[in-house]
Amino acid sequence: MSEVVVSGVGMHPFGRFDGVSTTDLGVAAVRAALAEAGVGQGGFQAAFCATAYGGVATGHKVLSRLGMTGMPIVDVEAGCASGGAALMLAAGAIRSGQYDTVLVFGTEKMPRGIIRSSFFEPWQEAAGLAATPAFFGLRAQRLAMTSGVTKAHLAQVVVKNRRHGVANPDAMYQKEVAAAEVLASRVVCEPLHLFMLCSPNEGAAAVVLTADTGPPPSNGSPIRLAAAVLRSHLPGAVLSESTPLSGLTDDTVPSPTTLAARAAFEEAGLGPDDLQVVECQDTDAARELLSYEEIGLCGAGGSAALLESGNTALGGRLPVNPSGGLLSKGEPLGASALGQVVELVRQLRGQCGSRQVEGARTALSHTVGRGANAGVVILTR
């Protein structure tokens, strides 16, 4: 079985770009990743394009603009984990020997405001039960009950990630916020205030994966894709990202994130203690803390203590979201997971300047969202 390495990454910054199309965004990211990998026309045998709102044949439109078609081009939709799903398909194809080099990219322009999702039936919208932030709020309240997470903790997550984002030129918000400002922003759905929620926005990210058979890349030590796993939900958890109308009074049903993380650690032959840097889903501040517990960065109920320890901030033992996270970058669904992977590849190469996690050798990316879908990617150098 071939090992899979990352031979090039590229990004279009995340933000709002009026007059720039979904195709334009994708072209910028793909061009950068192919240039870094030294791959031109005919240099990859398949392409997977992650997008949720891009529409029909988004990937084809991007690659047509670059004069690179003829190979299979497949659009992949798995909610917030779309990029993780695309990466899993590409890595599997390379490992099996089907392809040597595969292009994976995500591109997205999200509608403004609360995300309208075709996931919900019209009656759920009419009944007010398609209020996405309310599900985040309910999950945050449960985390308060089970893990002692307070509003001060939620504000601390925002302050941490926004501080990290100051040093990221690809982030939408590159300005610090104080806890008092977070808590003074309007309540969207208790206990979540506006600044505790990420902004749906626009952007693109691209990754070139290659079978590890060729000469070492010219841009430094190779970054190995040690695991790329996608899992869906098991039924029973009422506040799961699968957004059911009911669940069981059984708190032992593992979350899709836990299922994906366990499988990824097994695939990589590694555990949470081996990580030096993590990018995780922080759609809202509570989601980051829940991710700590579900990935296994701490035990159940331990997320508030882990945050308080300072270990998940830059300079700590295991910085989480050194890119600034979605709270700083915003979230273009199809591009968010690959944006994390781009950040982590740059972290492992030591290219991140003042937000660099010194000496990072093993990194984990995590996305989870509607479906439910959870993607976990582990990278090593």
Name the site residues for another protein (rule: CB under 8 A): 113-116, 120-123, 125-134, 137-138, 141-142, 145, 186-191, 235-236, 238-239, 244-250
80 carries an active-site annotation = yes
* H-helix or E-strand spanning residue 147: helix 132-147
Q: What is the CA radius of gyration of the chain?
A: 19
CB of 154 to another protein, least distance (A): 14
Which is closer to another protein, CB of 284 or CB of 343?
284
Q: How many CB atoms lie within 10 A of CB 193?
A: 22
Long-range contacts of 114-121, Cβ-Cβ distance < 8 Å, separation of 24 or more: 115/200, 117/370, 119/243, 119/370, 120/243
- Taking the CB of residue 354, how many other CB atoms lie within 10 A of it? 9
CA dist 293 and 221 (Å) reads 32
Among the listed residues 253, 240, 169, the one whose alpha carbon sits nearest the alpha carbon of residue 203: 169
Q: Which is nearer to another protein, 17 or 119 (CB)?
A: 119
Closer to another protein by CB, 231 or 349: give it: 231
| Angle at the Cα of 337 from the Cα atoms of 361 and 247, rounded to 5 degrees | 115
Of these residues, 80, 189, 298, 352, which one is catalytic?
80
The distance of closest approach from Cβ of residue 134 to another protein in the complex, given in angstroms and rounded to an integer, is: 5
Taking the least distance from each CB to another protein, the nearer of 294 and 343 is: 294
Q: How far is the CB of 151 from another protein (least distance, A)?
A: 12
Beta bridge partners of 367: 375
- Dihedral angle, C-alpha 134, 233, 147, 277, nearest 10 °: -100
The distance of closest approach from Cβ of residue 373 to another protein in the complex, given in angstroms and rounded to an integer, is 17
Residues involved in catalysis: 80
